[in-house]
Amino acid sequence: MMKKTTVIFDMDGVLFDSEKMYMKELLEFFNQNNICITKDMCKKVIGVDNNKFYQIVYQWWKYDTPFNEFVDILKSYYSHIYRDYKSILKPHVRELLIYLRNHGYKIALASSSPKTLIMQALNSVDLEQYFDLITSGSQFKESKPNPEIYLYTMNQLNSLKDETLIVEDSYYGIQAAINANVEVIALKDEILNLDQSHATHIINDLVEVIKYLK
């Protein structure tokens, strides 16, 4: 294995245990509108960007509402939700980022989430300072599993594929890394039971990234 110089993180499900929170919010939204959806249905939107997210969940909407109007309704619902990111920060995130910074690694975040949400999450726990680059899926036409977000991030950092390690959790994210031809490790999630079978390696805790890089 070539020595790594760069580590790129996904955000939701990797730095924050946020995917279960988002799932709960989505279930509640449809419940309030007398529509029953399942957790398995919600798993279909894990790791996708905003545009794809709205397109998928609109298919579950049972009322004769134009798409743009539906998006506005859902955005309004989300705007009234307070998210306590401090309470869902994954164990050893700060420890890992400090280690990478102190050992000269280039560190990036490449998330499908909108930039405003990314910055809200990072700023709430004072993590922005550790990243050399923060990339949002909203910057691109195609979302994960398209590799564009990872190819762009590596290009901006002047990092070679063989020198880069990606840390993911979702099926789409892992596929994006594979499609970019980059080594990817997956942070296991017992509750959501995501398909991580194609990852190079699966870890139970972020602190294992340190051991993996040594």
- Could you report the per-residue pLDDT of 127-148, keeping only the tens digit for each? 999 999 999 998 998 889 999 9
Look at the chain and count its residues.
214
Q: Record the tokens describing residue 1, joined without a space.
A: 């294995």
pLDDT tens column, 86-118: 999 999 999 999 999 999 999 999 999 999 999
Q: CATH 3.40.50.1000 spans which residues of the chain?
A: 6-18+87-213
Q: What is the pLDDT of residue 153?
A: 98
- Asked if the peptide bond before residue 91 counts as cis, ω within 30 degrees of 0, the response is no
Q: Which long-range contacts (CB under 8 A, 24 or more apart) does 113-118 make?
A: 113/11, 113/12, 113/49, 113/50, 113/137, 114/50, 114/138, 115/139, 118/11
d(CA 59, CA 4): 42
CB 143 within 8 A of CB 112: yes
Q: What is the pLDDT of residue 197?
A: 95
Q: What is the pLDDT of residue 103?
A: 98
Rg of the chain on CA atoms, in Å: 17
Tell me which of 3.40.50.2000, 3.30.110.30, 3.40.1380.20, 3.40.50.1000 is the CATH number of domain 6-18+87-213. Answer: 3.40.50.1000
pLDDT tens column, 23-49: 999 999 999 999 999 999 998 898 888
* Ordered DSSP codes for 5-49: -EEEE-SBTTTB--HHHHHHHHHHHHHHTT----HHHHHTTTT--
Q: What is the pLDDT of residue 190?
A: 76
Q: Give the CA distances from residue 133 to residues 32, 39, 108, 154, 156, in Å, rounded to whole numbers and listed in that order.
A: 38, 33, 5, 10, 8
